[in-house]
């Protein structure tokens, strides 16, 4: 029994491996969870935008500018309900209109309902 459980864990890891580098994690960038509401998103964005504003980092303006743009991109995506839905389904690539990573499959084909709901 234990050997079959280890084998299943290995299969799961191998199936999820392609998604490890599948784009930016906007939730992690903003430091919010996936169920964050608009208020939480806005609060996190404002805090990080102030912290990483390029004018506050004259010594390393290039790094601050990149971080500031990344924060703005994350907020722009997650604060728009349609973009957020796309992001949650297919990641950064889906929002930017790119095809999903190779091997990506929707968990339930179109027209089929989630078995639990």
CA–CA dist 62, 110 (Å, integer): 43
Rounded Cα distance between 101 and 33, Å, is 23
Which residue reads 């998604």 in tokens? 19
Q: 91, 12 in Cβ contact below 8 A?
A: no
The length of the chain is 117
pLDDT digits 0-9 by tens, 51-99: 999 999 999 999 999 999 999 999 999 999 999 999 998 888 888 876 5
Domain ranges across the chain: 22-95
Q: Where is pLDDT greater, at 48 or 106? A: 48
Query: Using an 8 Å Cβ cutoff, are 78 and 41 in contact?
Result: yes
Q: Which CATH homologous superfamily contains domain 22-95?
A: DnaJ domain (1.10.287.110)
Confidence at residue 95, expressed as pLDDT on a 0 to 100 scale? 85
Give the C-alpha separation, 26 to 70, whole Å: 8
pLDDT tens-digit readout, 7-49: 655 554 455 445 544 589 999 999 999 999 999 999 999 999 9
Instruction: For Cα atoms 72, 104, 97, give the angle at the middle one, nearest 5 degrees.
Output: 40
């Amino acid at each position: 029994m234990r050997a079959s459980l280890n084998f299943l864990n290995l299969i799961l890891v191998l199936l999820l491996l392609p998604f490890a580098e599948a784009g930016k994690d906007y939730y992690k960038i903003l430091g919010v969870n996936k169920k964050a509401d608009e208020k939480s998103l806005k609060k996190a964005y404002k805090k990080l935008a102030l912290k990483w504003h390029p004018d506050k980092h004259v010594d390393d303006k290039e790094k601050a500018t990149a971080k500031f743009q990344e924060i703005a991109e994350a907020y722009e995506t997650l604060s728009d309900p349609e973009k957020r839905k796309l992001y949650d389904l297919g990641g950064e690539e889906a929002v930017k209109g790119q095809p999903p990573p190779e091997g990506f499959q929707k968990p339930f084909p179109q027209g089929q309902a989630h078995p639990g709901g």
